[in-house]
Chains A and B, each alone.
Chain A
Amino acid sequence: MKTNDVIFQTVAKIVFFMIIFFAIHLFFAGHYYPGGGFVGGLLTSGAIVLLLLAFDMKTVRRGFPVDFKWLTALGLLFSVGTAAGSLIFNVPFFTHAYDYFQLPLFGKTSLHTAMLFDLGVYLVVIGVTMTIIQTIGESE
């Protein structure tokens, strides 16, 4: 019997974007509200796993043509780079900098280098989770 996942696949396509937006919201809210890179990354990989369930490995790989191991290394590079940036300014390692900026559309916004570190965490979490799931899924 041929299974037909048309309802599941249609719903997954819509819900995927809702989860991604919520993940991005959590990621950016991390400084003032509960959230941050870890839970944001986990939720993003949760959204990709939903696509994996609804479609198959090959389709999802076409949608996200990245090597997730690479993404992990990139995330580590971001985090280490942010922390090591303090070496250039000869302040103690991991010293962050922040300031307030007047951005169009957002208004007065505080930008903090801790966000770059968090971006690294976000990428590492996605990379590691997806590598684990893909490796287990592909091994016979």
Chain B
Amino acid sequence: MINAPILPILIPLVAAVVLMFLSKSVKAQRIVSVAASAATVIAALFVLKKVRENGIQTVDMGSWPAPFGITLVSDMLSILLVLTASIITLCVVVYSFRSIGSGREAFYYYPIVQFLLVGVNGSFTTGDIFNLFVFFEIMLMSSYVLIVIGGTKVQLRESIKYVLVNVISSALFVIAVGYLYSMTGSLNMAHISSRLAEIGADPLVTVLAILFLIVFGLKGGIFPLYFWLPGSYSAPPAPILALFGALLTKVGIYAIMRTYTLFFYHDQAFTHDILALLAMLTMIAGSIGALAYKDVKQILIYNIIIAVGVLLFGIAVMTEESMAGTVFYLVHDMIIKAGLFLLGGIMIYAAGTSNMTKMGGLIRLYPVLGWTFLVASFALAGIPPLSGFTGKLLIVRAGFESGEYVGAIVVLLSSLAVLYSVVNLFMAVFWKTPEGELPKKKTQMASLFIPSAALVVLSVLYGVGTEAVYPYVMQAVDALIHPEIYIDAVLKE
């Protein structure tokens, strides 16, 4: 099966088209979207096995050889992320049955979720810089619809901000690709990399590196460019927020990771110092936000920004160990953020408010929910047996080894801020005696709880089974640290 890497993109695409025909019947839509999401997970597992056994998998679209056609490249990093994204989408789709509401369901919610998955999986898999732009746009247009679908006042206001910021950053992306094309004459990422290696440390290449950092930083929520994120992400309901928080910013981080390991590694003294500085500022800004707010959604949203900072710092250090930590932390953070947002959605639904000062005492009604949330919080902060630990440990150790003491200490302190903010949230929502009357009757929420708990369980397994995951991560790091491996696999030299 030479077309294996296309399957995680093709299955959601076909599903989205089929779902457009089924817009009348909500029940058929639910069945098709769950089946398609499950099939995508299976396809991703299949490709993962192939990549593990046979190395990097490529498909030259339309049988045109590598630098001339579009090439899809599944290396270990991209297929790990594709698998994670597919699993998260499956859980979110199941969660949506109960929570998204019939108005949205009848109005093309499920096809748009599938289109979002097409964009995300495509961005992770493509080996062509302009094709990356196209998949970014597929993802962003789906996210525009998801942010505005339902049409409440706050959604309309925030979607205008969100669309405006992303249209500007997409225009910058096109400009950056234009500059890159005028310098290298190629759009294939492997080919660009080998051309840039011939040019070497040209100042223009550094300018391009910064331009790409601005573009992907706007998508990923890096320090001075994250201003749109807290407002826009708090507008849509929980399952959509979980998709956004887990997938969208991480695609930006993946793009930074890819470009900074494949293209812009010649003038590291300048570019990677800027990355490290921005990473620290991102973590600080995120921590301030996470500690300052009294709103469940806002606290979790600022935790996204902290995680973006940690990941960026891992990329900035740029040793084998720090990249391993970054890959570890990236997969962990996608899973646990989706889990936390879904659990947060249940909490808001159960308490009827998102203001944590007005909540309290939920542990008496929902003990399982409470303890699951606590486990997820500990995993987020990186308490040893759980999944956040290994990634952060590797990043911090690599930071100390390469002399980035300040950054490594900021990572550690930001973990404290994360732990404080989520445990504070746990105590306020579940322990504190409520101000008003606690709702007497317990609402049945198994259909919401099971998909969220599945993500938390997965995250725990990911943490406990670090030994089993480690060889996969190291295979991903290998292609990142040695771009020749990637280039040879694509250009078949």
Q: Which residues of A contact B (CB under 8 A)?
A: 69-70, 72-73, 76-77, 80, 84, 86-87, 90-96
Contact = CB atoms under 8 A, between A and B. Distances in A.
A69 B60 contact: no
Interface residues of B, number: 18
A73 B61 contact: no
Contacts, number: 44
B17 A93 contact: no
Contacts of A76: 16-17, 20
Contact of A92 (B2, B13, B21): B2
B62 A90 contact: no
Nearest to A73: B20
A94 B61 contact: yes
Given A73-B21, A80-B10, A92-B59, 8 more contacts: A70-B20, A73-B17, A84-B10, A86-B3, A91-B2, A93-B59, A93-B61, A93-B72
B23 A69 contact: yes
B14 A80 contact: yes
Interface in B1-53: 1-3, 6, 10, 13-14, 16-17, 20-21, 23
Given A69-B23, A84-B10, A92 B17 contact: no
Interface of B: 1-3, 6, 10, 13-14, 16-17, 20-21, 23, 59-63, 72
Nearest to B19: A73
**Chain B interface SS verdict (over half):** helix
B14, B59, B60, B62: most-surrounded residue (chain A CB, <10 A): B62
Contacts of B10: 80, 84, 93
24 contacts: A69-B23, A73-B17, A76-B16, A76-B17, A76-B20, A80-B10, A80-B17, A84-B14, A86-B3, A87-B3, A90-B2, A90-B3, A91-B2, A91-B63, A92-B2, A92-B3, A92-B59, A92-B61, A93-B10, A93-B59, A93-B62, A94-B61, A94-B62, A95-B63
A84 B15 CA distance: 13
A84 B6 CA distance: 10
A93 B3 contact: yes
A77 B72 CA distance: 22
A69 B23 CA distance: 10
B2 A80 contact: no
A121 B491 CA distance: 31
Contacts of B1: 90
B88 to A, nearest CB: 24
B285 to A, nearest CB: 39
Nearest to B20: A73
A7 to B, nearest CB: 41
Contacts of B17: 73, 76-77, 80
